[in-house]
Amino acid sequence: MSSTHLLRAAMAAHQPEWYSLDLLRTVLGELAGRPGLVRPAACATLRGELSRAGRGEAFVVQAGDCAERFADASSGTTRRKIDQFDALTARSVAAGGIPVVRIGRIAGQYAKPRSTPTEQLADGRSVPVYRGDAVNGERPDPADRRADPARLLDAYDRSADVLDVLDGHAVGGGEPVWSSHEALLLEYEESLVRPDREGGRLGSSGHLLWVGDRTRQLDHAHVDFLRSVRNPVAVKIGPSVAPGDVTALVRALDPQHETGRLTLIARMGRDRVREHLDRVLAELGERARDVVWLVDPMHGNTLVNRAGQKTRVVGDMVDEIDDAAGVLSTHGCLLAGVHLETTPDPVAECVATHEDLVARSPLPEYRSACDPRLGPTQAATVVEHAARAARRTRTI
């Protein structure tokens, strides 16, 4: 699945087939001349916050859209997302008793890895799959679905718009919401690398950058990229990860044992987390305690209802959170936080129970551009549950 690229030696999966490499080159040149989107000092501060979370002094809530849309980069929508973080923070503090580190899937979550390169439309036509607003359009139309490098400039501009609102909120005395996204489009990420204070490389596209479960191969370009930057970084680990590979990832990405540098986001699925996370932790041994552990109880629990909609059951999520917390504490580790797909909008994309999976199909308020998100009430329930589960790992 490697494709047209300009910069890399190592294999990179899930890269778009850009329609024009000349235009890509021009766009990357333009991006390289622009100011960095985030500052080194802010990334260093977040790294310190993550280190506190790793020690059990704070709880991480990382949440937001599966795929942000450019159209949602307005200040109004961004403020509603901040309000949702405020509500989730209150619930988390009440349940967990410690401060919250708030990290959005926000201000750059514009590119998605997809399981198939094309999508079959109802009329039988096949079009390239939607890969996020940074790559192509959501409308199922061949022209819109072309991978257009000019969209990378919009991704930068919309990220800057959202970051302005987040910065304004923090400067006004509000608790910060840090930015994070999956560092999937390597040319884009590389074009935004800027020097940090010590002359190292900062990925200036966002505060925390992560690599997904499909691009975490040790010898591939995404892990190389994370290794090369000084940001706090994260890797998603799913049920197919070999325990030895996790150990190698920890050695590669956190060679100095600096808590806060590396976050691992376990997204094993309700039925597999107990056994598989246990194997991962057993293999890691002492090294597991250098890592900030989050649980993503969503991506391993995706189901499809009878109407063909992707959905997830909140009951499965809370079960996975409990099992992840239990296994972590068995190995002397803390659950440091939770990673969720959420929206402040009153959507119906996830369901409460397995009965609802059948009873509530098709889901009426389904608006996600990609995976099913938790609405405000569901998100609060899951965060509260996770904060309690994390608290138990601190008192054992």
Side chain identity, residue 15: Q
Question: Which of 72, 213, 254, 319 touches ligand PEP (CB under 6 A)?
Answer: 213
Reading the block at residue 227, the tokens are: 């290794």
Rg (CA), the chain: 20
Interacting residues with ligand PEP between 78 and 137 (CB under 6 A):
113
SS3 34: coil
Which phi and psi (to 5°) does residue 104 adopt?
Answer: -85, 150
| Contact in structure between 186 and 222 (CB atoms under 8 Å) | yes
The C-alpha atoms of residue 156 and residue 107 are separated, in whole angstroms, by 9
Quick check: 350 binds Co ion (CB under 5 A)? no
- CA 331 to the chain's CA centroid: 25
Q: Of the two residues 112 and 169, which places its CB atom closer to ligand PEP in the complex? A: 112
Quick check: 69 binds ligand PEP (CB under 6 A)? no
* Least distance from Co ion to the Cβ atom of residue 199, Å: 35
Q: Of the two residues 51 and 62, which places its CB atom closer to ligand PEP in the complex? A: 62
Quick check: 49 binds Co ion (CB under 5 A)? no
* Least distance from ligand PEP to the Cβ atom of residue 208, Å: 13
**Helical ranges in the chain per DSSP H:** 21-32, 40-54, 75-96, 151-171, 186-191, 221-228, 243-253, 273-284, 314-330, 354-359, 376-395
Q: Pick one of Co ion, ligand PEP, none as the site partner of residue 99 (Cβ within 5 to 8 A by kind).
A: none
Residues with Cβ < 8 Å from 272, sequence gap 6 or more? 239, 300
Quick check: 158 binds ligand PEP (CB under 6 A)? no
Quick check: 391 binds ligand PEP (CB under 6 A)? no
The C-alpha atoms of residue 168 and residue 314 are separated, in whole angstroms, by 34
The C-alpha atoms of residue 197 and residue 113 are separated, in whole angstroms, by 32
Quick check: 349 binds Co ion (CB under 5 A)? no
| Contact in structure between 308 and 357 (CB atoms under 8 Å) | no
| Binding letters toward ligand PEP, positions 234-273, x by CB under 6 A | --x-x----------------------------x------
Quick check: 371 binds ligand PEP (CB under 6 A)? yes
Q: Which stretch binds ligand PEP (CB under 6 A): 34-42, 82-90, 153-161, 208-216?
A: 208-216
Strands 337-341 and 59-64: parallel
SS3 304: strand
Quick check: 182 binds Co ion (CB under 5 A)? no
Q: Which stretch binds ligand PEP (CB under 6 A): 10-18, 82-90, 212-220, 251-259?
A: 212-220
Interacting residues with Co ion between 66 and 125 (CB under 5 A):
66
Q: Which stretch binds ligand PEP (CB under 6 A): 5-13, 116-124, 207-215, 284-292?
A: 207-215
Q: Of the two residues 322 and 371, which places its CB atom closer to Co ion in the complex? A: 371
Q: Of the two residues 146 and 267, which places its CB atom closer to ligand PEP in the complex? A: 267
Q: Pick one of ligand PEP, Co ion, none as the site partner of residue 267 (Cβ within 5 to 8 A by kind).
A: ligand PEP
Quick check: 148 binds Co ion (CB under 5 A)? no
DSSP state, 32? Answer: H
Reading the block at residue 256, the tokens are: 């100095």
Residues with Cβ < 8 Å from 242, sequence gap 6 or more? none
Residues engaged in binding ligand PEP (CB under 6 A): 66, 113, 212-214, 236, 238, 267, 299, 371
Binding positions for Co ion, rule: CB under 5 A: 66, 371
